[in-house]
């Protein structure tokens, strides 16, 4: 007895080759080395964007054998951008703290421009106390107050500008994506960067606002210093001069802190382009601030 089997007319479908998988750890900006096996390097490749990585994986499709995906045979030799996204702001904050300590509290601070100008303020108050007419001194204080008020109002405008970045990030994200050699970021990361910028300008506003108030106190203390041609108590005279001097020095120190925040905010803007630009702008800005404090012609003129 012969049994005829009914053959299927379905077309023969070759077994589907498993597509190369995409490692979520590989990101735009990575530099990776692909290997034929564990020892033989095949190609070193820079990943400018994820599409480039996808095309490369498709090109190496014949080399792909399950269960070993192609990306298991590649090694990242330069960290991915997310690592730099963490390193860059930490470096920024650490250098800010180191810069402040170097200018105000280290043994080098006495050679800095801020400390030297503090000594000049001390001489100014001592000279003012010996003058009968102090209209010059009140004019100086008024000029310092107006400059501080200008920077305080500018800080408020800058805070509003940073808030507008949070309110409508899409136009700025499109602009950043159109700039060559920039790292596109998510909306959440962009808003986090804008909030950080807002905090910097808020810090500057607090410093300028407090400096403005201290200059007001300085003008009151200058007016309370007795004149020498009248009967005065030497102890009270020295105490009033000391108070006016310390208040003026502290007001100038707060103003310098606010200005320093303005300068480093310019370096912070590099983060909106890419993490690498942020690191480079941070190092360049702190190098410039250190030069101005300790090696500039202005600091040398006061020594």
Alpha-helix residue ranges (DSSP H) falling in the chain: 50-59, 81-104, 113-129, 135-167, 170-178, 187-224, 234-268, 275-294, 297-301
How confident is the model over 269-289, as pLDDT tens digits?
988 888 888 999 999 999 999
How confident is the model over 75-127, as pLDDT tens digits?
444 445 556 778 889 999 999 999 999 998 888 888 889 999 999 999 998 88
Neighbours of 89 (CB within 10 A): 19
Question: How many alpha carbons lie under 13 Å from residue 153 in its C-beta half-sphere?
Answer: 6
Neighbours of 241 (CB within 10 A): 20
Instruction: Specify the DSSP class assigned to residue 68.
Output: B
List all residues 6 or more positions away from 102 whose beta carbon is below 8 Å from its beta carbon: 108, 109, 112, 290, 293
Radius of gyration of the chain (CA): 32
Distances (CA, A) of 59 to 8, 39, 69, 81: 35, 20, 13, 25
List all residues 6 or more positions away from 184 whose beta carbon is below 8 Å from its beta carbon: 28, 173, 176, 177
Give the model's confidence band at 38: pLDDT under 50 very low, under 70 low, under 90 confident, else very high. very low
Give the model's confidence band at 169: pLDDT under 50 very low, under 70 low, under 90 confident, else very high. confident
List all residues 6 or more positions away from 143 whose beta carbon is below 8 Å from its beta carbon: none
For residue 257, pLDDT beyond 60? yes
Per the CB < 8 A criterion, the answer to whether 216 and 145 are in contact is: yes
Q: What is the mean pLDDT of residues 204-227?
A: 91
Q: What is the mean pLDDT of residues 214-232?
A: 83
Per the listing, tokens 């990361």 go with: 189
Highest mean pLDDT among 3-17, 69-83, 172-186, 220-234: 220-234
Taking the C-alpha atoms of residue 262 and residue 259, their distance in angstroms, rounded to an integer, is 5
Residue 173 is predicted with a pLDDT of 76
**How does the average pLDDT of the chain come out, rounded?**
77
CA dihedral angle for residue 84, residue 85, residue 90, residue 93, rounded to 10 degrees: 120
Residue 54 is predicted with a pLDDT of 55
Candidates 45, 93, 90, 95; CA nearest to 70 is 45
Angle at 144 between CA 118 and CA 199, to 5 degrees: 85
How confident is the model over 119-152, as pLDDT tens digits?
999 999 888 888 877 888 888 899 999 999 999 9
């Amino acid at each position: 007895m012969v049994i005829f089997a009914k053959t299927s007319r379905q077309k023969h479908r070759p077994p589907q080759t498993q597509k190369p998988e995409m490692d979520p750890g590989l990101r735009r900006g990575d530099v990776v080395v692909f290997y034929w096996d564990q020892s033989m390097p095949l190609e070193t490749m820079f990943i400018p964007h994820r599409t480039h990585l996808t095309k490369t994986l498709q090109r190496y499709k014949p080399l792909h054998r399950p269960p070993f995906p192609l990306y298991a045979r590649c090694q990242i030799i330069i960290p991915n951008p997310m690592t730099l996204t963490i390193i860059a702001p930490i470096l920024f904050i650490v250098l800010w703290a180191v810069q402040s300590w170097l200018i105000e509290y280290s043994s080098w601070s006495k050679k800095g421009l801020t400390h030297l100008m503090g000594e000049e303020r001390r001489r100014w108050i001592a000279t003012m106390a010996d003058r009968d007419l102090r209209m010059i001194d009140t004019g100086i204080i008024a000029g310092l107050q107006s400059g501080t008020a200008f920077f305080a109002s500018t800080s408020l405008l800058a805070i509003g500008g940073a808030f507008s970045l949070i309110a409508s990030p899409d136009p700025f994200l499109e602009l950043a994506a159109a700039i060559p050699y920039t790292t596109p970021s998510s909306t959440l990361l962009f808003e986090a960067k804008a909030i950080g910028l807002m905090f910097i300008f808020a810090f500057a506003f607090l410093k300028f606002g407090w400096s403005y108030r201290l200059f007001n106190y300085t003008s009151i203390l200058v007016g309370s210093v007795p004149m020498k041609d009248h009967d005065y108590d030497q102890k009270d005279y020295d105490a009033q001069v000391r108070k006016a001097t310390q208040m003026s020095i502290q007001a100038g120190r707060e103003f310098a802190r606010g200005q320093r925040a303005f300068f480093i905010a310019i370096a912070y803007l590099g983060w909106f382009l890419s993490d690498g630009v942020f690191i480079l702008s941070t190092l360049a800005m702190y190098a410039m601030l250190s030069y101005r404090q300790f090696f500039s012609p202005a600091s040398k003129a006061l020594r």
